[in-house]
Structure formats: C-alpha cells, structure tokens
Structure 1
Amino acid sequence: MKKSLLALAFGTLGLGIAEFVMMGILPDVAANLHISIEQAGHFISAYALGVCCGAPALILARRFPLKHILLALVSVVIAGNLFATAASGYWTLLSARFISGLPHGAYFGVASIVAEKLADKGKGSEAVSIMIAGMTVANLFGVPLGTSLSAMISWRVTFLIVGCWGLVMLYYIWRWVPHVKGVKDTGFKGQFRFLRKPAPWLILGATALGNGGVFCWYSYVTPMLIHISGFSPASMTALMMLAGFGMVVGNLTSGRLSDRYTPGRVGATVQGMICIILLLIFFLAPHPWCAALLMASCTACLFAVSSPEQVSIIRVAAGGEMFGAACVQVAFNLGNAIGAYCGGKVLHWGYQYPALIGVPFALVSFILLTRYYKKYESQYHS
C-alpha cells in the first residue's frame, strides 16, 4: 500500500472517530449535560451541518495546492475537537461540534481527488476506498475505544484523543503526501457547470436520502440495542466494534467491485439491500443476535455505497471535480442531519421505529441510483 494513501486514511480515521463516536457516547453526554437523548442527537446534526457549511468553501480554495488545503483542514480538526473537550454545556458543545464538522467534507473532497491521482491505472475506485478505509477502521477500533473511555472516565477524553490524533494526521500528510497536480481552474462559474446535467443531481439526491435512511436508525442504535434488544451497556464496546468490522468489509469490497463492474451498478445494488435490512431491523430488533447481525450488515452496506458515490460524483463533475467531491460530502452529512432529526421524532413510539422511518428514504435513494446507473453512467465510466 502506498504511504501517501495511508496518510490520507489517517485523516479519515480521525474524522471518522469525531463523527461516529457521538452515537456510542450519546447516553453519557446526555446524562452529563442533563439533557434528553433527543436533545443530545442535535450534536450529531450540528456536526453534519458543519460539514454542509464547510465543504462549499473549497470553491474559494481551488487555486491553492491540494496538499496545503489538506494541512489547513487538519488544523481545524484539531481546534474543533479540543474545543469540544472543554465544552461546558449544551450550546458550547453544539458550537464545537459544528466547528469540528467544517473541515470534514472538504477533506474528503480534496483527499478523493488526491487518491485518484495517486492511484495505479484502473485502480481509482480502490484507491478512494483505501482513503475512506480510515473511517471504517475508526468505527472498528476508535469508536469502541471512545465509547469505553467515555463509560470509564469521561466523554471529554474521546474528543481530546481526536484532537491529539490530529497532530499525527498533520505530520504524515506533510511527510508522505506528495505535491500532486491540482485540478484545472475553470473559473468561479466553471465550478458549477456540471450541475446543469441530471446525473450529478441523481447521485447527490441518492447520497442524501440513502444516508438519511440509515442515520434515522444508526443515530439511536445504542439505546435501541440496550432497551429493545436487551444488551447491557457494558456490551456496547463490542457491538460498536462489530459495526466497525462491517464498515471495513463493506468499504474494501465495494472498492474492488466498483473497479471490476461500475460504481453506479454496485451502489444501486447495495442501496437496495439497505432498504431490506432496515425493514428487518424494525421487526427483529427485540431478538438480540438478529439485531447485532443486521446492524453489522447495515453498516457494511452504508460504506459499501459511499465509495461508489464518491467516485461517481468526481467522474460526472468535469471542470468542478473538487467542488463536486465536496458536494457529495455535503449530501452525506445533510442526510445524517435529516436522519438524526427524523429518527428522534419517533423515539416516543419505541427505539426500533427510527429504522422503519428510514425505509422510504432508502427506497427513493435506490430508485435514484438505479436511474443513474441505467441511463447516465455509461457516458462517464471509462
């Protein structure tokens, strides 16, 4: 594996912990700040909204070297998570989560382009999946560790670790990522030209709705596993590792399949599987081991669809690749925010109901990705 791709993956590892650990420590944060689980869910949405606001700023940074942009973004990661560590209440933590989210989408956007440029011929999707793999490893090891430290010491320790890991990210990107040729500067208006066509809108819509469907349920997976499936709070660390294992397998598998077939075909197939899995979670959540296996399957599918969508948007965004790559992260996290909000609204019915609410989101996403794959992908795939 190329050291440059590994350095990029170190970045997504830190971002993955920062984003996903809130699902594991949600009850601890709520108890410490004396707020409800639904209110604590706002910290998930705040991070996602930070992504949505930060990613479009890449339009202004298009003339800077890609490596310099990555280093600046990692500096914001460090600042945001250290701020979260010191947060004294609901509003300060909400602000810290928003700031922590600002560099997330922009980092993925720039790192995706760098990964494709560094990839061997015909291995672009696999290179992007390696870059994204850091986020899956975060869910396999980082999030369970953060969940465990939160239970044993404090949830603040988790954000402190992410802030310190940011220094590691900074060093290895500086040391291992070469200066690669930037994207062609097509001017300010040229960055938006690709949005005149329907293909990118199908991808962005599918990304937002697909992620929204999963995050209706996954935002509240810890209370569901405890109160509906009957797992003990002490078992959450192991269950978060199982979810992370699913993400690792799903991401790396889809990267290879996308190079062998096409990203759109793989993405549409996996999105159809998500619809079925969410429905099964709703019905089978009271059965502990069914709930655990379905959780791992759903997280595997979540990351099996993300790499194909990331690659697809770069290919359809000619002249605005950096903005397009950032846009798909906006769509991801807009879906996260909407999903966490919608899932929170049905918690009074039961912790398994967010999965049911997620089904129509996932179904529409499947339809959009299938439309893209059937009608438009052949125009861009090479």
Structure 2
Amino acid sequence: MGHAVSARHARLLLPALGASYFLFGTASLAVIGLLEAMASAWQVTPARIAELVAVHSLTFAVAAPLLQVLFGHRPRRELISGGLLLLGLGALATVMAPDWSAGLAARVLMALGAAAIGPAASAQGAALVEPSRQAGALATIFAGMTLAIVLGTPLAAWLGHVGSWRTVFMLLAIGSPLLGLMLWRALGEGTAGPRIAGSGFLRVLERPATAWALLMMLLLMAGQFCAYTLLVPLMIQRFGLASGHMTTLLMLFGLGGVIGNLLAGRFGSRLGPVRLIRFSMLGLTLAFAGLMLAPALPLPGVLLMMLWSVCGLLFAAPQQQRLIQLVPLALRSLALAANASAMYLGMSLGAWSGARLYGLAGVETLIPASLLLTLLGALALQRSHQAQRAEERLMRSGIGIGTGAGSVPKVWVQ
C-alpha cells in the first residue's frame, strides 16, 4: 500500500475508482442507445455508428497493455487521472464532431483514456487492501462497469430521446476531468507500479496458467455478447415477449449483473477465485442450455435470462483476483491490462459473431453458439488451473523461487 494512502481512506477510494469504471463503461456503451440519433446527425446509417463500438473495443484492447509497458512505472494517479482527462477530451471532441470521421477520431481518444484507467484502477484498488479483502475491493471497483450497463446505457438512451445525444457526451466531458482531479488529490505519489520491459507482455502470455486464463476471459465474454447484442430480438422471437417490455427486460438483466457482482465480493475470499469462476460457468451453462430447451413462454425465458445475467458478471472480479495471484508483483498491472484487452476483444468477437449468425440463420443460432463458447471457456479454465497446479508442485519440490502469491518457477523467470 502506498504511503500516501492510509487504510481508513480505502472505503472512500474504492467507490471513487469504481466511478472511473462507470464513466469509461458508459462512454463505451452509450453509443448502443444513441445509434439512430447519431446516425441522423452525421447522415450515415446506424450500422456505421455501430462500427464505433468495435473501434473503441479494438483500440482499448491494443492500448491497455501498451500503455502499461510505456507508463506503468509512473504513479497510478497519473494513469487514472490522465486517462479520465483523455476520456473527457474525447467526449468533448464527440460533441463538437461535425461528421462520422471526426467522431471516429474522438472515439479513439476516449478508448485511449479508458485503456489507461481500467488496469491502473484495478491495480490501485488491490493495493489498498489486504490480500484477504482483494476480492471485495475488485468487486467494488468493477461494480462501476456493472452500473454502466444497468444505469449508464439506459440513461444515455433516455437523454438522447428527451434531449440530444450530445448532452450525454457533454456530461461525460464535464464529469471525467472532475473525477480525475478528485482522484489526483486523493491518491498519493507512492502508488506506482514497477517498470515493465517491452518483453513483459510476452512473459505474461508465455506462462501457460496465465495465457489460458486470458483465453478463458475472451471466450466467456464472446459467449455472452454473441447473444446479448441481440437480446431484444432473441426474447421477442424465441419467447414471445412484447416489444414494449424490452426496457424493463434490459433493466432486469442489468439488475442481475449487479447481484452477481455483489455475490463475487461477498464470497470471493471465502470460496477462492477458481471455485467462484466455476460456479459462474456452471450457471451460464445451465442458463444457455435452458434457453435452448425451455418452452417458448415469457416466464421461463425471463427467469433463465436472470440466471444468465447473475452468473455473467460473477466471474469478473475473481478473474482479476486470480491473475493478481498468478503473476509476480512486477507484472500485475500488465496482467490486468491483458485481461481488460481479452474482455474487450471477447465483446467485439461475440457481437460480430452474433450479428453474422443472426443474419445467416436467425435467432435460434445465438444461444447454441453462446453455449459452445462458454464450454470452451470452461476448458480453458481447466487447462489454466492444471498448469497452475503443476507450477505449485515444482515450487514444492524446490525448483521454484519465492513463497508468496505470485511466486513462479525458475524456469519461467529465466
């Protein structure tokens, strides 16, 4: 824990770090609810506006680890506050953008800000508390992303409907630097990560336990977004829900995500990250299998959707906790950045796959694809856990070095 941040400040700082997640999560997802309005303003099709989501995700995925290599040794308040400033400038540029091309450039700027914020905020939150409380701390921070789904995206759509889509980005342009200034004052200069060499990313990926864990994140997010991107037509065509109920349905889905994140914080330390991730996968498997086999009636469809939403974010915080335990201290920020990249790449892959499947074969193909990707994610977790256990056996036999969490075999360090 940095010397400038005392333990008594953690309860205030963790929600503030979660607010940074809320702002960049809302910035990345708000476009979904503003497609028609932005398309009309820039005189392009809604599909062109939807491309901005993919551009944001890909920019984030590339920039998150790169920024950690370049600036990860700087005090984390510089990354978090600087990222919030970039996010605000990108939002302001979006407000002023006269056309789609200018909006695209602004979108890249916002993604760069988000890529600086996410890994640094998670690493800072984990550093504020004792190891036994890291699961709850990470769940508190990631709750900001959950709230961005539950509140940020619907609120953005509502503001775009009653006012202007530019209002949404103007609020982000004001709120982001204000939060950045607050966190700059609250976080001490001592909260810096170690310097990371350019080869550090390869060191993270070449370790089997970590590489399989990152693949698991990509597959689980792809599995969910394959169906979530088209949740509205799925629930209307498969289970006969009325289109007028879709706003309530989306709110229920978001509420399930909040419950899942709260459960992760409550039971993460008690059960351990691997066991909690397995519970999440089991719930997702049951939910997707049920959505395939259930009668075409609204009630079973909604109940199974709620199971999916609760389990769908249950694994996010324990995944971060596990990565912190898997890698040495010097590579934690980079591992968290790689995890964020895997998450956004999975979202992009899932959304693209779902759109292609829906266009080729209809809504009935979405859930089987989501189930398949989830099962592949479970296989990746199993391979990661097996590799982790093998490394632990090497350390017990005297081949490894170190004794604490994040210790690694000599063969990997060298």
Aligned pairs for 1:151-230 within 5 A: 151-185=161-195, 187-190=197-200, 192-225=202-235, 229=239
- Where does residue 82 of structure 2 map in the other structure? 72
Flag the structure with larger Rg: 2
Q: Helix, strand or coil: the match of 2:72?
A: coil
| Counterpart Cα distance in 1 of 2:193 and 2:308 | 35
- Where does residue 109 of structure 2 map in the other structure? 99
Aligned pair partner of 1:112 in 116, 119, 122: 122
Q: Helix, strand or coil: the match of 2:192?
A: coil
- Where does residue 347 of structure 1 map in the other structure? 358
Cα gap change, 1:364 to 1:106, in 2 (>3 Å): farther
Aligned pair partner of 2:349 in 334, 338, 341: 338
Aligned pair partner of 2:384 in 351, 355, 372: 372
| Counterpart Cα distance in 1 of 2:155 and 2:96 | 20
| Counterpart Cα distance in 2 of 1:185 and 1:381 | 20
- Greater relative contact order (CA < 8 Å, ≥ 6 in sequence): 1
Maintained 8 Å contact 1:200/1:313: yes
- Where does residue 54 of structure 1 map in the other structure? 63
Report which stretch shifted further, 10-19 or 345-354: 345-354
| Counterpart Cα distance in 2 of 1:28 and 1:228 | 29
2:28 maps to 1:7? no
Aligned pair partner of 2:25 in 1, 16, 23: 16
Q: Which residue type is aligned with residue 341 of structure 1?
A: W
Maintained 8 Å contact 1:213/1:361: yes
- Where does residue 359 of structure 1 map in the other structure? 371
| Counterpart Cα distance in 2 of 1:225 and 1:157 | 31
- Where does residue 275 of structure 1 map in the other structure? 285
Cα deviation, residue 14, structure 1: 0.8
| Counterpart Cα distance in 1 of 2:250 and 2:131 | 36
Aligned pairs for 1:312-323 within 5 A: 312-318=322-328, 319-323=330-334
- Any idea what the Cα deviations from partners look like across 1:39-81, whole Å, max 9, x if unmatched? 5442321221121122022100022111111111111111222
Q: Helix, strand or coil: the match of 1:182?
A: coil
Report which stretch shifted further, 278-287 or 163-172: 278-287
Q: Helix, strand or coil: the match of 2:124?
A: helix
Cα deviation, residue 30, structure 1: 5.5
Cα gap change, 1:191 to 1:202, in 2 (>3 Å): closer
Cα deviation, residue 216, structure 1: 1.1
2:286 maps to 1:251? no
Identity of aligned residues (%): 23
Maintained 8 Å contact 1:24/1:222: no
- Any idea what the Cα deviations from partners look like across 1:303-347, whole Å, max 9, x if unmatched? 111111112222222121111110000000011111111111122
- Any idea what the Cα deviations from partners look like across 1:16-51, whole Å, max 9, x if unmatched? 212233444446555666666655442321221121
| Counterpart Cα distance in 2 of 1:224 and 1:159 | 30
| Counterpart Cα distance in 1 of 2:21 and 2:343 | 15
- Where does residue 306 of structure 2 map in the other structure? 296
Q: Which residue type is aligned with residue 347 of structure 1?
A: Y
Q: Helix, strand or coil: the match of 1:2?
A: helix
Report which stretch shifted further, 340-349 or 98-107: 98-107
Aligned pairs for 1:38-53 within 5 A: 39-53=48-62
Q: Helix, strand or coil: the match of 1:18?
A: helix
Q: Which residue type is aligned with residue 24 of structure 2?
A: L
Report which stretch shifted further, 107-116 or 174-183: 174-183
Maintained 8 Å contact 1:194/1:316: no
Q: Helix, strand or coil: the match of 1:208?
A: helix
Cα RMSD over matched residues? 2.8
Cα deviation, residue 119, structure 1: 1.2
Cα deviation, residue 257, structure 1: 2.1
Maintained 8 Å contact 1:186/1:320: yes
- Any idea what the Cα deviations from partners look like across 1:328-367, whole Å, max 9, x if unmatched? 0000001111111111112223345333322222111111
Q: State TM-score, norm by structure 2.
A: 0.82
Q: Helix, strand or coil: the match of 2:315?
A: helix
Gap regions ≥5 residues in structure 1: none
Task: Name the count of aligned residue pairs.
Answer: 382
| Counterpart Cα distance in 2 of 1:352 and 1:36 | 26
Q: Helix, strand or coil: the match of 1:64?
A: coil
| Counterpart Cα distance in 1 of 2:244 and 2:348 | 28
Maintained 8 Å contact 2:211/2:384: no
Report which stretch shifted further, 64-73 or 87-96: 87-96
Q: State TM-score, norm by structure 1.
A: 0.88
Maintained 8 Å contact 1:217/1:343: yes
Gap regions ≥5 residues in structure 2: 1-9, 393-403, 407-414
Q: Helix, strand or coil: the match of 1:195?
A: helix
